Amino acid sequence: MARQYDVIIVGGGITGASLLYTLSNYSDVKKVLLLEKYDKIGGLNTSSRNNAQTLHYGDIETNYTLEKAKSTKEAAMKVLRYTSSLEKKGREKIISKCQKMVLAVGDEEIERIENTYSLIKESFPALKKIGKTEIGRLEPNIVRKRDKGDNIKALYSGTGYMVDFERLSNSFVENTKRTREKQYRVRLSTRVTGVTKSGGIYKVSSTAGEFFARFVVFAAGTYSLYFAKSLGYDKNLSILSIGGGFYYTPRVLRGKVYRVQKGGIPFAAIHGDPDITNPNINRFGPTVTVPLELEKGHIETMPDYIRSFDFDMPTAVSVKRILLNEDVKRILARNAVYGLPFIGKSSFLKNEASVIVPSLKYGDLTLSNDGGIRPQIIDEEKKALVLGEGKINHDEAIFNITPSPGATSCLVGALEDTIRITEHLGREFYEDKYRLELGEVSTGLHYHLR
């Protein structure tokens, strides 16, 4: 009985931790177990070192549709409502306000942000369109030493946020409601080795033995699809691992400065960010790699990557079509150089960092080993990428695959999972309490593959 649960959550990053919190506070599900393979919560892609620490809001993401922008805003508001309930001392280490802008350089990019602004301005009244003079006042180093012939404009908001998602994940776990009736447990350093289903019960095998549950949720990033396939699901899907890295510089930006992003591209445009854990630096990135790993820097995950990738003709055609896209080819070619000694730094400075801050010098940049992997789903039937956050639902199982902005949408994803779990288990979802504390019971941000 000690190893039998209503729900088992596999993965202790921001997705799994937020679900643990939501189930405990907004449902009457009694017994939940979270299994995390590493020795701490939020230690992999959720770590502050491995992401841009951005609470996406939908207003400076120029590759979003209006619908996506509005739903991302609602997701961000839930995180803000949650953190506003925390004590000030702890809250300041989790989330901090900062200004933000998306910078357009040249006529083509300026036209794109003009179109974006026209599309979203009614939904984001705090967003302003600004020219070079105002940019120079707000972010002096963007204008200093810039070629006088450069035509620049920006979309600006004074209400951006940087977030330490690792600390946020730990806050969710710390604020998980536990009583004699509600047994919510977390096991660290416990690697899941397999999952099977029999008689309506899932058996989750791990390095700490076997556990059983009526419902399982895989919040394991790139590994979520691996486990879905091990159960025989979704043979038409594969994962393309997209790795990211950063260059560090001294603090030259006051806030977040994004670049114009094209739609349909699975890579974020290089941007400059302050670091919530170190006020003296900026990070520029993410650079792009396509590693043959499910977890960056963990070569032991390569065999699992190969097992989760169907090396058949539909897969080959899909990958070829994706990688031969002209924009994707150009980005990959440039980024292949950025990690090389000497020429990588000079190339990154010329092509990326100095476009944002022209006064940066070669010696200002330091290549970091930080950065994680963002899983991109390949749909072999459509021979295309499924961009954005994805969920796979099968029976009493959910598989979450969450590239950016998955951390921002953690509470919306947890809400969707909580509703599905309570419906399948015949439990109660405390909708009124949720609405009072976190806002509207809004769903639909995630792309449901099944």
| DSSP states along 312-378 | SHHHHHHHHHHHTSHHHHHHHHHHHHHTSTTHHHHHHIIIIIHHH-TT--GGG-EE-S---EEEEEE
Indicate the pLDDT class of residue 448, thresholds 50, 70 and 90.
Answer: very low
Q: What is the pLDDT of residues 8-28, one digit of tens each?
A: 999 999 999 999 999 999 999
Q: What is the pLDDT of residues 392-406, one digit of tens each?
A: 899 899 999 876 678
CATH class of this structure's domain 1-53+164-236+386-450 = alpha beta
Q: What pLDDT does 42 receive? A: 96
The whole-angstrom separation of Cα 37 and Cα 206 is 9
Q: What pLDDT does 94 receive? A: 98
- Tokens describing residue 242: 């997209």
- Tokens describing residue 70: 């509005």
Task: Name the DSSP letter for residue 270.
Answer: P
Closest CA to 5 of 437, 415, 396, 445: 396
Q: What pLDDT does 389 receive? A: 67
Indicate the pLDDT class of residue 387, thresholds 50, 70 and 90.
Answer: low
Site of tokens 């506070």: 25
pTM of the model: 0.94
32 pLDDT more than 70 = yes
Taking the chain, what is the end-to-end CA distance rounded to the nearest angstrom? 32
State the DSSP H helix or E strand holding residue 99, giving kind and residue range, or none if neither: strand 95-105
The whole-angstrom separation of Cα 243 and Cα 267 is 9
374 pLDDT more than 70 = yes
302 pLDDT more than 70 = yes
State the DSSP H helix or E strand holding residue 204, giving kind and residue range, or none if neither: strand 201-206
Q: What is the pLDDT of residues 318-344, one digit of tens each?
A: 777 777 778 888 888 899 999 898 999
243-263: b or e for each residue (b if 16 or more CB lie within 10 Å)? Answer: bbbbbbbeebbbbbbbbbbee
- Residue range 46-70: mean pLDDT, rounded: 92
Q: What is the pLDDT of residues 256-279, one digit of tens each?
A: 999 998 766 767 889 999 999 999
Domain residue extents for the chain = 1-53+164-236+386-450, 240-380
Q: What is the pLDDT of residues 419-428, one digit of tens each?
A: 999 999 999 9
Percent of the chain's residues with pLDDT above 70? 95
Q: What is the pLDDT of residues 166-220, one digit of tens each?
A: 999 999 999 999 988 899 999 999 999 999 999 999 999 999 999 999 999 999 9
Return the higher-pLDDT residue of 75 and 402: 75
- Residue range 113-129: mean pLDDT, rounded: 96
The whole-angstrom separation of Cα 146 and Cα 375 is 36
